[in-house]
């Protein structure tokens, strides 16, 4: 037994003296592998006198357990601190960073610019009733603009809003003039999709109602907005148009930022890009919400948010905004 105790002390001292993870592993191989010293001690059991065999076997077994535990705890210690397991020359892993969606960025720009001009932000539901989309917007049941082809109807006479103009009515019926609001939000149309049209897109409605509001204020407001958004050299033009809810009405074009009005593929050689509709609020709308149209006048506009973003970021296909392709989104 004395000899065995010496062997035990030598082995355990040798293991404890390991100074690294690699050295500890070498000791495991030296003592506990198939041909390791402790493993080989088991092979000697058969040579021991029968009366001592049990004691010998127990001793070797305990030695193996002790050596095993010791090696494991040393390995644990070295794997936490050892430089061998941490390669300091590897480049660090940067945390993945997200980016804002370009439509969110342009919406934030819109809100910031119009807030500075005194507009507050209003909202309305995307599921609307025919009253807010048609009747209150001066499109009675016989009106051709009420055709169902580009509206998406739901059950119980409800429909997905086709334009944010419904928020004009919802805002005005809630209070008394003056009103000065913008209403950015999603709209839906039963449309064939292409590079400039999608069935789901966003608009930003604008409404200003007060005493003595004139068309020149509408022009000034939009002119200022586009200059802040696209730069001071931006030129806009108004083309006469028809909307049932404004009179007079116009479409607003912005000089193509890409070719500076000379004509290019983006603006289809016209030098202009159509971004929205606008006009003076039709007196019928004011009357529909109980506002005296002799006393108050107003202007309204509706801008396509995707179109604004296409211009700002030079995006040639509107569908890119909703495809969730990270190669596109990572650029912003």
Task: Summarize as ranges the residues that interact with ligand FA5 (CB under 6 A).
Answer: 163, 165, 189, 191, 197-198, 201, 203, 243, 246, 249, 274-279, 300-302, 304, 306-307, 318
User: How far is the C-alpha of 93 from the C-alpha of 27, rounded, in Å?
Assistant: 34
For ligand FA5, give the closer residue by CB, 11 or 106. Answer: 106
- Identify whether the C-beta of residue 138 lies closer than 8 Å to the C-beta of residue 179: no
For ligand FA5, give the closer residue by CB, 18 or 162. Answer: 162
- Identify whether the C-beta of residue 215 lies closer than 8 Å to the C-beta of residue 248: yes
In DSSP terms, 10 is beta-bridged to none
CB of 201: closest distance to ligand FA5 in angstroms?
4
CB of 253: closest distance to ligand FA5 in angstroms?
9
For ligand FA5, give the closer residue by CB, 70 or 286. Answer: 286
Q: In what order do the strands lie in the sheet with 158-160?
A: 127-129, 158-160, 152-153
For ligand FA5, give the closer residue by CB, 71 or 300. Answer: 300
Rounded to the nearest 10°, the torsion over CA 208, 139, 252, 328 is 100
For ligand FA5, give the closer residue by CB, 41 or 298. Answer: 298
CB of 264: closest distance to ligand FA5 in angstroms?
19
For ligand FA5, give the closer residue by CB, 295 or 317. Answer: 317
User: How far is the C-alpha of 106 from the C-alpha of 82, rounded, in Å?
Assistant: 51
For ligand FA5, give the closer residue by CB, 179 or 243. Answer: 243
For ligand FA5, give the closer residue by CB, 102 or 304. Answer: 304
- Identify whether the C-beta of residue 1 lies closer than 8 Å to the C-beta of residue 56: no
User: How far is the C-alpha of 183 from the C-alpha of 126, rounded, in Å?
Assistant: 12
For ligand FA5, the nearest residue by Cβ is 304
Q: What is the per-residue DSSP string for 244-290?
A: TTEEEEEEEEEE-TTTTTS--TTTTTSSEEEEEEEEEEPHHHHHHTT
Strands (E), the chain: 120-121, 127-129, 152-153, 158-160, 179-188, 200-210, 236-243, 246-255, 272-281, 297-304
Report the first-to-last Cα separation within the chain, whole angstroms.
Answer: 77
- Identify whether the C-beta of residue 140 lies closer than 8 Å to the C-beta of residue 131: no
SS3 227: helix
């Amino acid at each position: 037994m004395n000899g065995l105790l010496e062997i035990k002390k030598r082995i355990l001292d040798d293991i404890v003296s390991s100074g690294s993870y690699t050295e500890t592993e070498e000791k495991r191989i030296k003592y506990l592998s198939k041909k390791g010293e402790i493993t080989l001690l088991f092979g000697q059991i058969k040579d021991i006198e029968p009366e001592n065999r049990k004691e010998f076997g127990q001793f070797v077994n305990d030695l193996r357990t002790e050596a095993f535990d010791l090696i494991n705890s040393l390995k644990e210690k070295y794997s936490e601190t050892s430089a061998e397991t941490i390669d300091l020359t590897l480049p660090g892993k940067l945390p993945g960073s997200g980016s804002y969606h370009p439509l969110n960025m342009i919406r934030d720009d819109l809100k910031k610019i119009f807030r500075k001009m005194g507009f507050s932000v209003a909202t309305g539901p995307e599921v609307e009733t025919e009253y807010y989309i048609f009747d209150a917007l001066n499109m009675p049941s016989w009106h051709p603009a009420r055709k169902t082809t580009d509206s998406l109807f739901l059950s119980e006479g409800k429909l997905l809003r086709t334009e944010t103009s419904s928020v004009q009515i919802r805002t005005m019926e809630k209070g008394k003039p003056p009103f000065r609001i913008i209403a950015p939000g999603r709209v839906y149309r039963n449309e064939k999709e292409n590079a400039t049209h999608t069935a789901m897109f966003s608009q930003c409605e604008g409404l200003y109602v007060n005493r003595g509001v004139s068309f020149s204020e509408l022009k000034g407001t939009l002119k200022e907005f586009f200059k802040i958004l696209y730069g001071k050299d931006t030129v806009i033009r108004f083309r006469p148009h028809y909307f049932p809810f404004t009179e007079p009405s116009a479409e607003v074009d912005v000089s193509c930022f890409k070719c500076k009005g000379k004509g290019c593929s983006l603006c289809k050689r016209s030098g202009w890009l159509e971004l929205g509709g606008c006009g003076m609020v039709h007196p019928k709308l004011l009357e529909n919400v109980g506002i005296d149209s002799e006393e108050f006048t107003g202007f309204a506009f509706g801008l396509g948010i995707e179109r604004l973003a296409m211009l700002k970021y030079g995006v040639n296909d509107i569908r890119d905004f909703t495809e969730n392709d990270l190669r596109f989104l990572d650029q912003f």
